[in-house]
Amino acid sequence: MLALVLLLGTLHGVVMRGPITPVCMVGKPCDAPAAHFCLSFGDHRVTTDANGRYRIRLRAGTYAVRACTTPSPGRGVEPRTVRVRPGVDTRVDLNVDTGIR
């Protein structure tokens, strides 16, 4: 059991979606937290909370990051890959491009 725990690492962070308006203006944010957004890390899934925060524990390795559902018209989730290190809690903030231009 101890060996398995040592092979795991944790990813956490905030997922933001944007742009949320065609034109960014002073005093009005161009992005917003991606509330209740489902992320896929290979065969593992996690859903963000109301503030766009997520936390997931995975085996060490490199994972492709995608939206669980059909991607938005934009570039999708960025960065596209993340690295999990054994025994390490790593913050990785993610962005979801909405395609609004």
pTM of the model: 0.86
**Mean per-residue pLDDT of the chain:** 89
Q: In the structure, what pLDDT confidence band is assigned to residue 42 with cuts at 50, 70 and 90?
A: very high
Q: For the CA atoms of the chain, what is the radius of gyration?
A: 15
Pairing assessment for the beta strands 38-41 and 44-47 based on DSSP bridges: antiparallel
7-31 residue pLDDT tens: 999 999 999 998 888 888 888 888 9
pLDDT of amino acid 75 = 80
CATH superfamily of 2-97: Immunoglobulins (2.60.40.10)
How many other CB atoms are there within 10 angstroms of residue 5's CB atom? 10
Q: How far apart are the C-alpha atoms of 72 and 63, rounded to whole Å?
A: 20
CA-to-CA distance for 12 and 9, rounded, in angstroms?
A: 10
pLDDT for res 6: 65
- Domain assignments of the chain as residue spans, ordered by start: 2-97
